[in-house]
Structure 1
Amino acid sequence: MIPKVPSSPQAISKALHSQRSKTFNAFYASIRSLRQTPVEPVDPPSPADNDFILSILRANPSLRDTRSYLASFGVQPQRPKTKSEAQLPEIVIPPPPLPKTSPSLGKVSTEEQHAPSPVIHSILNPVYKRTALVKIQGPFTDVQLDSITRGLAYLEKLGMVSVIVVESDDVPKGDLEERQLLIDEVMRVVTSLERQGSHARPIVGAVVRLGPKPGAEESNTDPTFITPETHIFPSDLTQIRSSLRAGEIPVVAPFALDSFCRSVRVDANDAIAGLACGMVEAGSDNPSEDIDLTPLRLMIINKRGGVPSYARSGYPHLLINLDQEYHHILDTFDPRWKESHPHSFSDLALARTCLQYMPPSSSAIMVSHKSPSSLIGNLITNKPAVSSSLPHALLQGNLRLTPHTPTLLRRGLPIQVIRSLADIDQVKMTTLLEQSFNRKLDQEAFYGRLERTLDFVIIAGDYAGTAIVTNEGNPGSPDPISYLDKFAVLPSHQGDGTVDFLWVALHDESYGLGHPFSANPNGGKGGKGEGRDLVWRSRANNPVNKWYFERSTGHLRMGDWVLFWSDAEKRLKIEETRRGGAGLSFIENWESGRLGNWAQVIPKIPSSWK
């Protein structure tokens, strides 16, 4: 519950300026349910802080999300001091005061008093600054612009400093006053950021240079990759570096130097692509800088939000695997959407180009000006607002899925479907399974069983993840049980979208077959065929079960195991359509006896581990 906001200006000012860090710490503790250490009551926060705190609460980060966030923005390993720095006196910052005992939360032990939550302490003390590339695709009204800059100001509080490039659709190219009009737009963004309490610096001189970087085309081995039309030399980043070191958000006009050293207007996407390449190189060349120039996020802020999807009747894609889905999205893009989403193609190409340079953990997000709080959720969790691997029925009825839902884009991995054991690289598969489960595989027994029962295997990338489905005997039925034998992702790829990409492909090849929205380019059946119920089991104490509960139709507890299943979606849809609004009964005819069969067969499947 949000505390009541004080009415007097003095109280608001005090809450904002003197208690902001304590307030944030207290509310961040509630996100993670870290209640071992009671938090000292503080003065009520200001409305602006309330909004900021609510945005974090809505992100609902998991423990893994928090660890990932702290890895990027928490305390970083200190670099060795130079000789001149070693001679300077050391400044010691005292730790925050220990919390007092609260009667409502119980007595605090001495050990807990001397060990405050490391999450709370490290997330803000200090925050390591990282950068994001941001395109603001205007024009926007002052109210809309304030909504956008409010979200960017929130990101700055969490350690993500934006490098903004401004574009305006109502400034036609070749207009005699286009330069002044674009500078005016830059100044509007700067003024709006200042209203949100951030410091900003307009950069209206050319930062990038026209033309591909010398040697870039020769070094690129991917024939489908689009080389940026602009490039940067290290000296070109001086103004951006200066701005960031001064604690200011750089707001850049889309100008570039041509071969005659004239400043000319370029498309904002070209400017951002050149910046992405140049900033990544600068960050890798100078890893000891106070602010890492390597961008971790690309944010495209427009009026319409994400890329429309044929699978969601024009509602946005939730998560895009660019490596696998880029051309498929272009091919399935309804011509009617080109008018309402005129920049979708160019923004997809921009994300694909930038993410090729940015670190593998990076992502891009296309977001509407109506969803500034979603920027915080993306920063903390690096996940889409709604998981793309949820059952389609849940996605259709999800109130969080709107025409303005953001689209998250990852560089991603290729997905392939294999139906023969001979086509599996058993050495890589064994490594994947053993690292994922942290157990030793009984290879002879495991692969021997697959030779008899294998239905298909889905592989992400170079064995970064896999889903193995087998056909198990079904008493009294000619149709075998479709059993998810293994679902595994390498630890190094957990949290980068591979899990969702893999489960969507699994859905398309099993219980989602027969639906048009299952016609994804996974190298399998392309959505054609009849869906089958998918069954799997998991240890009752498996922490992944929460994730399974959300993606299954039902579950049955069997001692140390939990049996999960997902019903064939096409069959359910046909039956619901046939009955109109009557709905399905508690147990359908086709469901009679199936749980008994599953409970009889699944527990007898032998273990794959030594």
Structure 2
Amino acid sequence: MLSHTVLHGPRILSPVAASALKARRTQTFRAFYATIRSLRQPPPTVEVDDLDPPDNDFILSLLKANPSLRDTKSYLANFGVRPPVPEHAAVFPSTILNDSTPTFPKAAPDKSDKQPEQVKPGPSPILSSILNPVYRRTALVKLQGPFTNKQLDSIARGMVYLEKLGLVSVIVVENDQVRGDDGERSALIEEIMRVVSALEAQGAEARPVLGTVVRLGPNPDDDQLREPRDFIPPEAHVFPSDLVAIRSALRAGEIPVLPPFALDSFCRSVRIDANDVLGALARGMVEAAALDDNDMNLSPRDPHADYFPDINLVPLRLMIISREGGVPSYARTGFPHLLINLTSEYDYIRNTYDPSWSKEKHSSLSNLSLARTCLAYMPPTSSAVMVSHRSPSSLIANLITNKPAVSSSLPHALLQGNRKLTRDTPTLLRRGLPIQVIRSPADVDKAKMNYLLETSFKRTLDADAFYKRLEQTLDFVVVAGDYVGAAIVTNEPSSDSSEPISYLDKFAVLPSHQGDGTVDFLWVALHDESYGLGHPFSINPNGGKEGKGEGRDLVWRSRDDNPINKWYFERSSGHMRMGSWVFFWCDAEKRLRVEEGRRANAGLSYIEEWEENRLSQWADIIPKIPSVWK
């Protein structure tokens, strides 16, 4: 008996099977809907105390950092193995090296009269890279408790991970719970030993430095320094000779852990604010490293001297680890700031700080002041990070990329719904640059602007034609620092004689400042002055409109082979390709919000009716803007 199988015919199901299939489809649809809905909602916050770290936690933290090529080069520049300098290398003045005197070839040596040279065996490069994988740098860490044992273990794990990557922590422990108590000193020492035990339990070597390292009172040399008027130096200071205990610990491969003690004028050890200890250490370690460099360059290095060549005392990072996390922001509805330009935003953040935030984050402003003090002494490339004890793995991403968890220059709508933004998102702080808004072409420093544009674009500027056009069309110029970056916005006439087109004519940052936060600082100021106007979080305290007015669509063009286009794609509302150009635009956020509210849940289509006219205008006007390059 032969059987016949129907492959493509209709199938008749029994009532029971049909009912089961219907229930299955309903269950599948609900699961699909739940998956889509979960994409729109932030994931629930999971306490790090409730989770045990996986065995490959360190590797996962490295992968999550997702560094770019520039980030990787920057990390290797700071931590890569340094080639040894030959001890007897001849040093020639630059005038000799640059002399135009011709060099004559040397005569071949007579091999019959010379004995074969003894070749001294050197260490294997692979063995050297294993034994000394990185050039070690230091970080100042404020550990602001109290923490439970599991929280402390999580923090210690982060410190060990950083040490593996070359960043050795100098930890100052602060415990708010024991401040002012009778047993304050013994409680702090006990807390120091808890931190040391937690570090050692994670495989690190740590040393409690219970003696006083810093001295109470301002540095005697402060009278000779010209500090900014509103800058208050720490109420403690350190001499290079006071750092012997810290040097000894670092030389032995140990993490020094210090209490907030200082030596007063009567040679008594007293407790002071941990912020003053960290500020004094930041300044003292930088000055000590400068003396080390001078001594090494001026005289032969004594192998028995108190100097270890593969540890740089200059702090590369300041890390403030607490139960509070970063500084809350109005733009994030109380969630932390992502990136702070201390030079231009410090006063504004303090003056507009919501008193209600102080209940949960009582030390945000004091830690903000600490970051400003320490970064004033640390190199311009250094940064500070305020992080919660719940996200210690984010310290690895900060070390490798030196960037915030999410770029602050992304569109506000993307930031609001971003899953990475939680109350525990770290705040990255940089010394930053002043930001100013210029309205008149006469106030532009043409020489500095020419250098900025030609260096950034690597082309020669037709200065006469460029500034002649600006005199007729300039809306405003945002300048970062001493012309290390600029955004030039012009008003281009529209074809129907309506509101002029707001056109981003130039956006440039010097190569030496790309990757140090200047690009984000500049774009945020551009946002606050153009398409972000009208929002309470767009108050620009740098001479702009301070958030008052109506936002306007911002449009610009870029060559289709421009490598920065990926960055533009992420920050624009839309783009349109036309020949060898790509046109980008950012919608006026206030108007877009009104349109979305008007349509309620219907949402916006890809191109609205009111957008069709503007797109045709842009396609007609923008390509006709003349080039200003020779």
Structure 2 counterpart of 1:37: none
Q: Which amino acid aligns with 1:525?
A: K
Given that 1:203 and 1:251 are in contact with CA atoms closer than 8 Å, whether structure 2 keeps it comes out as yes
1:12-71 per-residue CA deviation (whole Å, 9 max, x = no partner) reads xxxxxxxxxxxxxxxxxxxxxxxxxxxxxxxxxx97661111111111111111111111
Whole-Å separation in 1 of the counterparts to 2:598 and 2:88: 76
> Match for 2:143 among 133, 136, 141?
136
Q: How do residues 369-388 of structure 1 correspond to structure 2 at under 5 angstroms? A: 369-388=389-408
> Which of 112, 123, 126 matches 1:95?
126
Q: Give the one of 58, 62, 72 matched to 1:66.
A: 72
Find the counterpart in structure 1 of residue 183 from structure 2.
Answer: 177
Following superposition of structure 1 onto structure 2, how do residues 4-153 of structure 1 map, counting pairs within 5 Å? 50-81=56-87, 91-95=122-126, 126-153=133-160
SS of residue in 1 equivalent to 2:583: strand
Which deviations, in whole Å up to 9, do the C-alpha atoms of 1:239-262 show, x marking residues without a partner?
Answer: 111111111111111111011111
Superposed CA deviations along residues 125-153 of structure 1, whole A, max 9, x for unmatched, are 63000000000000000111111111111
| Secondary structure in 2 matching 1:336 | helix
User: Could you say what secondary structure the match of 1:95 adopts?
Assistant: helix
Q: In structure 2, the residue corresponding to 1:296 is in which secondary structure?
A: strand
Summarize the Cα distance change of 1:221–1:90 in structure 2 as closer, same or farther, 3 Å threshold. Answer: farther
| Aligned partner letter, 2:513 | H
Per-residue deviation, 1:492: 1.3
Kept in 2, the 8 Å contact 1:75–1:123? The answer is: no
Residues 560-599 of structure 1 aligned to structure 2 (within 5 Å): 560-599=580-619
1:418-429 correspondence runs (5 A): 418-429=438-449
- What corresponds to 1:313 in structure 2? 333
One-letter code aligned to 2:76: L
CA distance in 2, matches of 1:477, 1:196: 69
AA paired with 1:155? L
Aligned to 1:35: none
Asked if 1:600 is matched to 2:606, the reply is no
Aligned to 1:232: 238
**Aligned pairs for 1:377-416 within 5 A:** 377-416=397-436
Aligned to 2:193, which of 187, 194, 211? 187
The Cα shift of 1:77 comes to 4.3
| C-alpha separation in 1, matches of 2:622 and 2:131 | 48
- Name the CA distance, whole Å, in 2 between partners of 1:495 and 1:123: 29
1:437 to 2:457 alignment? yes
Structure 1 residue aligned with 2:352, among 332, 341, 350?
A: 332
Residues 523/88 of structure 1: CA separation in 2 closer, same or farther (3 Å cut): farther
Q: In 2, are the aligned partners of 1:73 and 1:123 still within 8 Å (CA)?
A: no
Query: What's 2:534 paired with?
Result: 514
Q: What's the offset of the Cα at 1:330?
A: 0.8
Query: SS of 1:390's equivalent?
Result: coil
Given the superposition, is the C-alpha separation of residues 49 and 67 from structure 1 closer, same or farther in structure 2, using an over 3 Å criterion? Answer: farther
Counterpart CA distance in 2 for 1:477 and 1:58 is: 50
- Deviation of residue 579 (structure 1)? 2.5
Task: Give the ranges of 4+ consecutive aligned residues of structure 1 lying more than 4 Å apart after TM superposition.
Answer: 46-49, 87-90, 121-125
1:385 touches 1:406 (CA, 8 Å); kept in 2?
yes
2:356 equivalent to 1:343: no
TM-score by length of 2: 0.83
Q: Give how far 1:89 is off.
A: 6.7
5 Å-filtered alignment, 1:426-465, equals 426-465=446-485
Helix, strand or coil for the counterpart of 2:336?
coil
Q: Alignment partner of 1:575: what SS? A: helix
Deviation digits for residues 333-373 of structure 1 (CA, Å, limit 9, x no counterpart): 11011111111111111111100000000000000001111
Q: Which amino acid aligns with 1:512?
A: G
**Partner of 2:169: helix, strand, or coil?**
strand
Structure 2 Cα separation of the partners of residues 51 and 307 of structure 1: 27
Q: Which residue of 2 aligns with 1:161?
A: 168
* Structure 1 unaligned blocks of 5 or more: 1-45, 97-120
- Checking the alignment, whether the CA contact within 8 Å between 1:74 and 1:124 is kept in structure 2 is no
Q: Alignment partner of 2:355: what SS?
A: coil
What are the within-5 Å matches in structure 2 for residues 451-490 of structure 1?
451-490=471-510
Map of 1:10 onto structure 2: none
Alignment of 1:206 with 2:226, yes or no, is no
Alignment correspondent of 1:7: none
Larger Rg over CA atoms: 2
C-alpha separation between the residues in 2 aligned to 1:80 and 1:237? 29
CA distance in 2, matches of 1:68, 1:124: 22
1:333 partner SS = coil
Contact 1:74 1:122 in 2 (8 A): no
Q: Could you tell me how far apart the structure 2 residues matched to 1:291 and 1:595 are? A: 57
Verify the 8 A CA contact 1:133 1:299 in the aligned structure 2. yes
Question: What one-letter code is carried by the residue in structure 1 that aligns with 2:167?
Answer: M
Within 1, Cα distance between the matches of 2:576 and 2:125? 53
Once the two structures are TM-superposed, the CA of residue 123 in structure 1 deviates from its matched residue by: 11
Q: Contact 2:386–2:428 at 8 Å: present in 1 too?
A: yes
String of CA shifts for 1:544-592, please: whole Å, max 9, x gaps. 1111110000111122211111000000111122222221233223202
Structure 1 counterpart SS, 2:220: coil
Deviation at 1:94, TM superposition (A): 3.9
Could you say which residue in structure 2 is the equivalent of 1:535? Answer: 555
Normalised to the residue count of structure 1, the TM-score between the two structures is 0.85
Q: Counterpart of 2:323 in structure 1: which amino acid? A: K
What's the offset of the Cα at 1:496?
1.0
Residues 529 and 540 of structure 2 are in contact (CA less than 8 Å); yes or no, is this contact kept in structure 1? no
Question: Aligned pair 1:555/2:575, yes or no?
Answer: yes
Q: Distance in 1 between matches of 2:80 and 2:55?
A: 21
For the residue of structure 1 that corresponds to 2:555, the secondary structure is strand
Q: What one-letter code is carried by the residue in structure 2 that aligns with 1:447?
A: Y
CA offsets per residue over residues 231-287 of structure 1, 9 Å max, x none? 011111011111111111111111110111111111111110000000011112213
Bigger Cα displacement from structure 2, 404-413 vs 68-77:
68-77
- Residue 268 (1) aligns with residue 274 (2): yes
Is 1:491 paired with 2:511? Answer: yes
What amino acid sits opposite 1:281 in the alignment? Answer: E
Structure 2, unaligned runs of 5 or more: 1-51, 90-117, 297-308
Distance verdict in 2 for CA 1:90–1:141, change over 3 Å:
farther
Q: Distance in 1 between matches of 2:57 and 2:81?
A: 26
2-structure distance, mates of 1:207, 1:437: 49
In structure 2, what is the Cα distance between the partners aligned to 1:582 and 1:531?
24
Deviations 1:441-486 (A, max 9, x none): 1111111111111111000011010000011121124111111010
1:291 aligns with 2:311: yes
Q: Give the AA of the match of 2:244.
A: T
Partner secondary structure for residue 71 of structure 1 = helix
Q: Matched residue of 2:142: which SS?
A: strand
Q: CA deviation at 1:188?
A: 0.7
**Equivalent-residue separation in structure 2 for 1:227 and 1:555 (angstroms):** 49
User: 2: distance between equivalents of 1:89 and 1:344?
Assistant: 58
Which deviations, in whole Å up to 9, do the C-alpha atoms of 1:588-609 show, x marking residues without a partner? Answer: 2320222221112112211121
